[in-house]
C-alpha cells in the first residue's frame, strides 16, 4: 500500500488542470471549521463541527458519482489495494496549509470515506487551553512522554504543539515516524525529518530499526500499538533521547496497565524497571464541547509527572494508587480530570451538565465545585 498525499490540481504545460470534484466537500469542511468529513454512496455528506455530526447541504451523493470522485484522487496502485482489501489510508492536500487524513472503506457493499482535517498551523499550548505545565514537560532533555486518549481526543495536536515548541526553541534533530503524517513542520531552530509509513518506509518496525542511525535528539512515534514499537521507544529513551508517543488509554493508571498488557509476561519485570527509570509524564485527554463560540472544544486533561512517589508506586506494582499522588500534587503541576473539569466550569468553557457527563467521579466533581477537596492519606507505607 502507498500511504500517499495526492494533489491533483497541478499545472501542466503552464495551465491548471481541473480540480477533482471531491474538493468541494473538503473545502466546505475547511470553511465550516469542521474536524471531520464523512461521505458515503447514496447519502448526503456530513461534517463534524464542535464535536457534533451535521448534514451538509446539497443533493444525495450517488454511489457511482462518489466512486468516480475517489478514483480521481488515488493512484491506480491505491485503487487496486482498496479493491483487494476493502479499505485504504492516504493523505490529501488542499493548497499548502490544509491536509486531510483520509480513510476510504467499504460498508454494506458501498463506498464510504472518513477524512480528518489537519492544518499546518500548529497552535501554541495556550491556544489549545492546556495547563502551563505542558511547556515544562516539552522542555525535558531525555526520557519518555506519553499522550493518551481515545480516537479524536486531540492527542496528535497536543504532541504537535510540544514538538513545535522544541522546534522554535532548541537546535536539535527531530525525527517523526507517523502513519500517516498529520502535521507538517518547517525547520526553525531545529532540523525536522518526518517519515511516513508506506511512503518513506514500509513499516514501523523498519523505521524504528533505522532510527538510531539517523542521529536523532527528539523522536515521535505516532502510536505505540505493539510491543515492538513500545520496546523501541523505551530503548531510545534509555539511550538519552526525548521520546514522544501516543497510546489508546484514558488515564495515567490505565496507560501503565496498557504498557504491561503490550509486554510479554517474561519481559514485564524489565519493562517495569525501564518505565520507572525513563517515563517523564503521562498526559491523558478528553475533548469536550464548549458553551462558547470560540473555542468550540477544549481538552479536559489528567497529567501525571513521574516524581519519586510515582516511581516507587510503579516499581512496587501499585500504579492503581497514582491518582492519589496526582490529587496531592496540584501545586507541582499535576492535575486530574476532576480538577480539570472544575477549572473548565469556573472559566465558563463548559456547563455543569457537560462536566458531569465526562467526569470519572461525578460525586467527587460535585464536591470539588463546592470547594470541598478529598484529603489523601499516606502513599508510600
Both 74 and 206 in one domain: the answer is: no
**Listed residue (89, 108, 85, 109) closest to 100, CA to CA:** 89
Neighbours of 179 (CB within 10 A): 20
Q: Is the pLDDT of residue 381 over 70?
A: no
Residue 379 lies in a domain: no
CATH number at residue 16: 3.30.450.90
pLDDT digits (tens, 9 = 90+) for 66-76: 999 999 999 99
**Listed residue (257, 286, 259, 256) closest to 360, CA to CA:** 286
Q: CA–CA separation, 356 vs 380, rounded Å?
A: 31
Grid coordinates representing 84 are 483487494
Both 106 and 182 in one domain: the answer is: no
pLDDT digits (tens, 9 = 90+) for 100-131: 989 999 999 999 999 988 777 899 999 999 99
- Domain boundary, last residue among 88, 118, 148: 118
- Domain boundary, last residue among 100, 118, 136: 118
The C-alpha torsion from 304 through 305 and 309 to 314, rounded to 10°, is 60
Residue listed under C-alpha cell 525535558: 140
Residue 22 lies in a domain: yes
Q: CA–CA separation, 251 vs 296, rounded Å?
A: 23
Domain count, the chain: 2
Q: Is the pLDDT of residue 9 over 70?
A: no
* 13 pLDDT tier (thresholds 50, 70, 90): very low
CATH number at residue 308: 3.40.50.300
Residue 376 lies in a domain: no
- Domain boundary, last residue among 118, 151, 173: 118
Both 185 and 319 in one domain: the answer is: yes
Bridge partners (DSSP) of residue 221 are: 177, 245
Give the strand pairing for 87-94 and 52-55. Answer: unpaired
Both 252 and 326 in one domain: the answer is: yes
List the domain range (segments joined by +) for residue 333: 126-369
Both 71 and 140 in one domain: the answer is: no
Using the 8-state DSSP alphabet, how is residue 300 labeled? Answer: E
Both 93 and 141 in one domain: the answer is: no
Region 260-281 average pLDDT: 97
Both 82 and 142 in one domain: the answer is: no
Region 308-325 average pLDDT: 97
DSSP character string of 176-222 = EEESS--SPPPPSSSEEEEEEBTTTBS-HHHHHHHHGGG--SEEEES
Both 65 and 189 in one domain: the answer is: no
Residue listed under C-alpha cell 486531540: 154
pLDDT digits (tens, 9 = 90+) for 134-165: 999 999 999 999 999 998 899 999 999 999 99
pTM assigned to the model: 0.81
Both 108 and 146 in one domain: the answer is: no
Q: CA–CA separation, 43 vs 45, rounded Å?
A: 6
Q: CA–CA separation, 26 vs 119, rounded Å?
A: 12
Q: Is the pLDDT of residue 301 over 80?
A: yes
Amino acid at each position: 500500500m502507498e500511504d500517499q498525499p495526492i494533489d491533483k490540481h497541478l499545472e501542466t504545460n503552464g495551465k491548471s488542470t481541473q480540480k477533482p470534484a471531491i474538493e468541494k466537500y473538503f473545502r466546505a469542511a475547511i470553511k465550516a471549521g469542521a474536524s471531520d468529513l464523512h461521505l458515503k454512496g447514496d447519502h448526503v455528506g456530513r461534517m463534524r463541527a464542535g464535536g457534533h455530526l451535521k448534514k451538509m447541504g446539497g443533493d444525495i451523493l450517488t454511489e457511482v458519482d462518489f466512486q468516480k470522485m475517489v478514483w480521481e484522487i488515488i493512484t491506480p496502485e491505491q485503487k487496486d489495494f482498496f479493491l483487494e482489501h476493502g479499505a485504504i489510508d492516504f493523505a490529501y492536500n488542499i493548497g499548502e496549509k490544509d491536509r486531510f487524513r483520509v480513510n476510504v472503506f467499504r460498508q454494506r457493499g458501498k463506498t464510504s470515506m472518513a477524512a480528518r482535517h489537519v492544518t499546518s498551523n500548529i497552535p501554541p499550548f495556550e491556544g489549545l487551553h492546556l495547563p502551563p505545565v505542558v511547556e515544562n514537560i516539552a522542555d525535558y532533555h531525555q526520557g519518555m512522554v506519553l499522550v493518551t486518549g481515545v480516537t479524536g481526543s486531540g492527542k496528535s495536536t497536543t504532541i504537535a504543539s510540544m514538538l513545535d515548541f522544541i522546534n522554535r526553541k532548541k537546535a536539535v534533530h527531530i525525527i517523526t515516524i507517523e502513519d500517516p503524517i498529520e502535521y507538517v513542520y518547517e525547520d526553525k531552530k531545529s532540523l525536522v525529518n518526518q517519515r511516513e509509513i508506506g511512503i518513506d518506509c514500509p513499516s514501523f518496525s523498519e523505521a524504528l530499526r533505522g532510527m538510531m542511525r539517523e542521529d536523532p535528539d527528539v523522536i515521535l512515534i505516532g502510536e505505540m500499538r505493539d510491543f515492538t514499537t513500545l520496546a523501541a521507544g523505551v530503548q531510545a529513551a534509555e539511550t538519552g533521547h526525548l521520546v514522544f508517543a501516543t497510546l489508546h488509554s484514558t488515564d495515567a493508571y490505565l496507560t501503565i496497565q496498557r504498557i504491561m498488557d503490550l509486554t510479554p509476561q517474561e519481559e514485564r519485570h524489565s519493562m517495569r524497571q525501564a518505565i520507572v527509570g525513563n517515563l517523564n509524564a503521562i498526559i491523558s485527554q478528553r475533548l469536550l464541547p464548549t458553551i462558547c463560540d470560540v473555542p468550540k472544544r477544549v481538552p479536559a486533561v489528567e497529567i501525571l509527572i513521574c516524581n519519586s512517589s510515582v516511581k516507587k508506586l510503579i516499581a512496587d506494582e501499585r500504579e492503581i494508587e497514582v491518582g492519589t499522588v496526582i490529587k496531592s500534587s496540584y501545586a507541582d503541576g499535576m492535575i486530574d480530570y476532576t480538577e480539570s473539569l472544575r477549572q473548565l466550569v469556573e472559566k465558563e468553557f463548559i456547563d455543569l451538565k457537560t462536566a458531569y457527563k465526562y467526569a470519572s467521579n461525578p460525586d467527587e466533581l460535585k464536591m470539588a465545585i463546592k470547594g470541598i477537596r478529598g484529603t489523601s492519606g499516606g502513599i508510600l507505607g
